[in-house]
Amino acid sequence: MQVIRLAALSDNYIFVLHEPNQNIAAVVDPAEATPVLHKLQELQAELVAIFNTHHHHDHVGGNNKLIQQFPHLTVYGGAEDKGRIPGQKVFLQQGDRISFADREADVFFVPGHTRAHIAYYFPPTSPSETGELFCGDTLFAGGCGRLFEGTPTQMVNSLSKLRSLPDNTRVWCAHEYTLKNLQFALTVDANNTDLHHRIEEVKARRNRGEATVPSLLGVEKLTNPFLRWEQPTLQSAVNSRDAVQTFARLRGMKDRF
């Protein structure tokens, strides 16, 4: 399964999953249809599925047009998003599995950014491969999503699920927010050597006009403050030893950054 990253809107990413042997494709969070249709035409592939992580327009805005072009495709989303995702036919919950071509993905219920958010994780099929995590706006490279409909407790539980996945997991998050996220991280974790190395690498990539997505989950565990709420340095930065309160205070600081 090939993953193709497409830029959309001002800073969104759409992900096309392509199976060349069957010449079929699926798309994760089509913010808009046009770049997806262009890529499908280039691949000469049939779109068979839309995998939505949540209902926000910059993740489902292309659904209707894609359904018009491929009326037999299936739209997947979270059960709690019923009535909010255009064309949704499959309503997923924690522990469900979905299939694309010869690959299966685990579904995680990860509320926080929204009350209905889900993520899709394709485990590696061999020791030499990476896992593929499509996490929408729950986990970002260097950050996490704002809490629009959920609570800090929900978000900590959700991020804990994603943090438990193997280090060798590619994190396909839906926005190019990495540099600003890491700039914030430095304000609360200034002595983190891994973080300093990472931000220099990200600056260089952005200066070359390159994307910073996907990232690796192992790197996130070392440098992303929103996966590190138990770290004494971060707890000291927000004057709390409680995991949820530490996370909530970090998120509040990031909201004002």
- Angstrom distances, CA of residue 225 to CA of 186, 216, 234: 9, 15, 7
Backbone dihedral region of 118: left (phi > 0), alpha (psi from -120 to 50 degrees) or beta? beta
Residue whose pair of structure tokens reads 């070392």 in the numeric block: 222
Summarised one tens digit per residue, pLDDT across range 109-148 is 999 999 999 999 999 988 889 999 999 999 999 999 999 9
> Smallest Cα–Cα separation from 122: which of 142, 109, 146, 106?
106
- Is 173:137 a contact under the CB 8 Å cutoff? yes
CB atoms closer than 10 angstroms to residue 82: 12
Instruction: Report, as an integer, the average pLDDT of 54-59.
Output: 97
- At residue 29, the pLDDT reads 98
- Residues annotated as catalytic are 54, 56, 58-59, 113, 137, 175
The top-level CATH class assigned to 2-256 is alpha beta
Which pLDDT belongs to residue 6? 98
Summarised one tens digit per residue, pLDDT across range 207-229 is 999 999 999 999 999 999 999 99
Quickly tell me which residue has 């060798």 as its tokens. 168
Contact 25, 43 (CB under 8 A): yes
- What are the φ/ψ torsions at residue 190 (nearest 5 degrees)? -65, -25
CA-closest candidate to residue 247, choices 26, 94, 86, 234: 234
Residues across the chain: 257
Q: Per residue in 69-83, pLDDT tens?
A: 999 999 999 999 999
The predicted structure's pLDDT at residue 219: 98
Question: What's the confidence (pLDDT) of residue 254?
Answer: 96
Token couple for 176: 């190019």
Give the pairing type, strands 74-78 and 46-51. parallel
Class of residue 200 by CB neighbours under 10 A (exposed 0-12, middle 13-18, buried 19+): exposed
